[in-house]
Every structure is written in C-alpha cells, then in structure tokens.
Amino acid sequence: MRCVVANWKMNLLAADAAAWSEGFLARYAPASGVAVGVAPPFPLLRQVGDAIRSRGVRIFAQNGHAEAKGAFTGEVSMAQLQDAGCAGVILGHSERRQLFGETDAALVRKVKAAREWNLLPLLCVGETLTERQAGFTLEVLGQQLSILAETGPGPLWVAYEPVWAIGTGLRAEADQVREAHAFIRAKLDLFMDRGDYQAPILYGGSVTPENFPELLNIPEVAGGLVGGASLDPAKFAELAKQA
Ligand code: PEP
C-alpha cells in the first residue's frame, strides 16, 4: 500500500481550508492501493473531514493526549479526536519533540491510547543534522523505535523524517533514505510481529512533486508525509496521483 499524508502544521484558516478542499477535490481521484490523509490543525478537523472524507481521504490529527479526559488544559484527547472524525494521529513529529519536549516515554502512552481509540498512529522518527554528522543516525532511529517494544504490535505507520530536511528544501539523498528505511524495517520486524501486520514507512522532508517519483522508487519507501508542499491543493493532489 502507498500512503501520502498532508501535514498542514499551524497553517490555514477556515476559509483557506474550504478553498483547499475545493481545489483538492477538483483534482483528486482515489486510486486503489493508495491511502491519502490530511492532518489539519484541531479547529479545522471537522470541517475538512466533512468536506473530503466522502472521497475516502483519512483525517489525521497532528498530536493527541494519552488520557481520555481530565484536567489537562490546552490538550486534546484521542477520544475527542475520534469523536471529531479522525482516523489517525501524527505522533512524535520532530517539531513536537524539539519545541514541546515530547519524550519517548510520552509516546509509548500516546501510541497505546491512539490504538485504544481506533486511531492509526503515524509515528515520526528522524535524526538532527548534528546527530547525522556525528555518525549517530541509526542509533537515534533505533532509540526512537524502541518504544515499539513497549507498545507491542498493532496498527502503525512510520514516517522517517530527517530533521535537517524538514521545511528546509534539503531532501535526503537516495542512499541515505535507503539506509534509514531498511534499518527501520529491520527494527519493525524485531518489535512487531511481521506476519501480523507490516507497517508502511513513509519518507518526510521537503517532498515535492518534482522529487517524489524518485523517492517512491527507493525500496521500503511507501509514500510521503508532506508539510510545505501540501498547503497547495494542486501539488498535494499531484503527489497523491504520483503515489
Ligand atoms: C513535515 O512537516 O512533516 C514535513 C516533512 O515538512 P516539509 O515537507 O515542509 O519538509
């Protein structure tokens, strides 16, 4: 299965989202074997879901809290995300790890909570430039994926997102992507029961319609998690078509 997910991050207002949905639907034709997702900010989840879900597009949240409810001002639970029509949730994005102190321990709880509420966890992993330059890329990926030993098998998508390639226009080289994805697959085989479920591994980091076809040719690249380019409905529809 191929997968393409738009991560809008903290962008777009309701009117922009309506225009995006219209522009996307005018160009998008669902294809078998291709799963397309869109992750709008919380206030737009219902609106975007209502606009595009009927075309089979899955709505993802960009984060969720592990507790189902309670005194957690400013947080949104997996139960609320499911209630708002989400099919999945992005977890462990590097911006959450770096800017909001999201830890691997918190991610264990979040992956479990997402599955409890029938949300597909899309777990992001990736190394910083300093870590890559110091030769620690695989150690970092191994550490970030080791949470799966605690969450156990279950539905999961993984996104390899080298932090230095996110929003920078710097795309990882094919060899770097190949090495990382093969390593992630080996770890998934270790931590999850392969016969039971094989998680797709997406690449993220300055994906555009210009570079996506080459990325899709790399073994174990099942698709893309797309930030900047996904804000343009024509580009995102093109990426969905390429997948
Ligand atoms: C992302 O936000 O996950 C991402 C990969 O962003 P960009 O495509 O802008 O690099």
CA of 239 to the centre of ligand 1 (A): 14
Alpha-carbon distance values, 62 to 18, 68, 94, 143, 228 (Å): 19, 17, 11, 22, 15
pLDDT range class, residue 193, cuts 50, 70, 90 = low
Q: Answer yes or no: is the C-beta of 6 below 6 A from any ligand 1 atom.
A: no
Q: Answer yes or no: is the C-beta of 7 below 6 A from any ligand 1 atom.
A: yes
Query: 225 has which bridge partners?
Result: 5, 204
pLDDT range class, residue 168, cuts 50, 70, 90 = confident
Residue 196's pLDDT is what? 64
Q: Answer yes or no: is the C-beta of 162 below 6 A from any ligand 1 atom.
A: no
Binding residues: 7-9, 167, 206, 227-228
Report whether pLDDT(205) > 70. Answer: yes
Domain CATH number, residue 222? 3.20.20.70
Nearest alpha carbon, ligand 1 atom 2:
227
Residues 6+ apart with CB under 8 A from 10: 41
Nearest alpha carbon, ligand 1 atom 6:
227
Atom from ligand 1 closest to the CA of residue 226: 8
Q: Tell me: the pLDDT tens digits for 26-42?
A: 999 999 999 999 999 99
Q: Which ipTM score applies to this complex? A: 0.97
Atom from ligand 1 closest to the CA of residue 204: 5
Q: Mean pLDDT score of the chain, rounded to an integer?
A: 96
CA of 204 to the centre of ligand 1 (A): 6
Whole domain around residue 11: which residue ranges? 2-242
Q: Tell me: the pLDDT tens digits for 41-86?
A: 999 999 999 999 999 999 999 999 999 999 999 999 999 999 999 9
Q: Answer yes or no: is the C-beta of 180 below 6 A from any ligand 1 atom.
A: no
CA of 70 to the centre of ligand 1 (A): 32
CA of 155 to the centre of ligand 1 (A): 23
Q: Answer yes or no: is the C-beta of 207 below 6 A from any ligand 1 atom.
A: yes
* Domain count of the fold of the chain: 1
Nearest alpha carbon, ligand 1 atom 7:
227
Q: Tell me: the pLDDT tens digits for 208-238?
A: 999 999 999 999 999 999 999 999 999 999 9
Which residues belong to the active site? 93, 161
Alpha-carbon distance values, 130 to 93, 123, 177, 181 (Å): 18, 22, 17, 20
Residue 95 CA to residue 93 CA, distance in Å, equals: 5
Tokens read off for 192: 């999850």
CA angle 226, 230, 233 (to 5 degrees): 150
Whole-model pTM? 0.97
